[in-house]
Amino acid sequence: MRTAAVTLFLAAAALPALAQDAHLLQQRASFAYREMQQAERDAERADAQAKENAAAANQLRKQLEEADKQTVDARKRADDARARAAQARTRWQAASDALEQVQPRPAAKP
C-alpha cells in the first residue's frame, strides 16, 4: 500500500509538470505554424514580384530591340544621304567646271 501511495503521490506531482510541458509545446507549435504561414505569404509575394520584374525586363528588351532597329535604319538613311550628297557634289563640280569653260571668271580688280 505504501508503494501505491508513493506512486500516486509521484504521479500527482508529475501531472502539473506534464501539463506545463504540453502547454509550452503547444505554444511552440503555434508560433512555428504562424512563422510557416508568414514565410509562405512572403514566398508568394516574392514570386509575384519576380513575375512582374520578368515582364518588365521583357518589355525593356523589346524596347531595346526596337531602338536598335531604329538606330540601324537611321544609320542607313544617313549613309544614303551622304552618298546622294557626294553624287550631287560631283554633278555640281562638273557643272561648275563646264560653266567656267563657257564663261571665264572675271579678272580680279586691282
Domain spans in the chain, listed from the N-terminal domain onward: 1-90
Q: Is the pLDDT of residue 24 over 70?
A: yes
pLDDT grade, residue 2 (50/70/90)? low
Mean pLDDT of 64-91: 98
pLDDT tens by residue, 27-72:
999 999 999 999 999 999 999 999 999 999 999 999 999 999 999 9
Q: Is the pLDDT of residue 106 over 80?
A: no
Which of 57-83 are b and which e, b meaning 16 or more Cβ less than 10 Å from the residue's Cβ?
A: eeeeeeeeeeeeeeeeeeeeeeeeeee
